[in-house]
Amino acid sequence: MIHPILEIDHLTHTFPSGGGIQDICFCVFPKEFILLAGPNGSGKTTLIRHFNALALPTSGEVRLHGIPVTADKVAARKTVGMVFQDADTQIVGDTVFDEVAFGPQNLKLPLSLIEKNVTRTLERLCLAHLKDRHPATLSGGEKRRLAIAGILVMDPEIIVLDEPFANLDYTSSKDLINTICRLNQDGRTIIMAAHEVEEVIVFATRMIIMDSRGCLAKDGHPVDLLGHLEAHGIKEPCFSRMGYKAPPWQR
């Protein structure tokens, strides 16, 4: 039996002003590509912030390899890398290189190792030619790749992406999907929050739908959930609305 990496156990988080998430239970297994879908305000961001103890639950627990994430936050944050919804406010460094080096510096790695890891990561994400640029001057797609580089350099097992396609054009979205799929094929677990599932549904191995009250509504293989999406406030992908099966060439 495969052991889950991440166990979400009756997780509830309520905000004083209302909203939040209610009693969420599921497990994340190695190499999965989970699409976390739900309308605006359904609690996707709130939920994923519990995965590395950025938010603390009202009740319930999140366990990473069987250990509560709150017990060792640094380990949790190393294992679960998070790309935030807003690409601009998560950039810390003054240059692309420094931005990627920020995490390893926090882990107090020696300088030579940092240099090596950062250079390798930048090359992997095709950012090496931009290494001296100011992050603010990058395009939206490049910023998103930079944010991924900033967590990839810490070698996380799970990569969580919050609405990675917001504000991206077609080409940048395609590039980003390729990048994410490559990471998934390399053996990293991907959890992606999105309200538009058209672009990624064919790549996901599992889909979790949250409803507008912050409860878990559906959990299953994307193919099985096709046709039920509109009922939960998510736009049905074009091929499914036209009555086709998921295009095989994309899978």
Minimum CB separation of residue 239 from other proteins in Å reads 35
114 is a site residue for other proteins (CB under 8 A): yes
The answer to whether 173 touches 220, Cβ cutoff 8 Å, is: no
Residue 208 host element (H or E) = strand 206-210
Q: How many helices (H) and strands (E) does the chain have?
A: 8, 10
Residue 117 contacts other proteins per CB under 8 A: no
Structure tokens at 121: 């990561």
Q: Taking a C-beta distance cutoff of 8 angstroms, is the pair 40, 195 a contact?
A: yes
Separation of alpha carbons 22 and 20, rounded Å:
7
* Shortest distance in whole angstroms from residue 122 CB to ligand ATP: 29
**Chosen from other proteins, Mg ion, ligand ATP, none, partner binding at 156 (C-beta under 5 to 8 Å by type):** none
Element (H, E) at 122: helix 111-124
134 contacts other proteins (rule: CB under 8 A): yes
- Give the SS3 label for residue 175: helix
Shortest approach of Mg ion to residue 82 CB, angstroms?
Answer: 12
Kindly list the residues in this chain that would bind ligand ATP in the complex (CB under 6 A).
15, 17, 19-20, 38, 40-46, 85, 195
- The binding site for Mg ion (CB under 5 A) comprises 45
Q: List contacts with other proteins (CB under 8 A).
A: 49, 52, 54, 74, 77-78, 81-82, 84, 86, 88-95, 98, 102-111, 114, 132, 134, 136-137, 150-151, 154
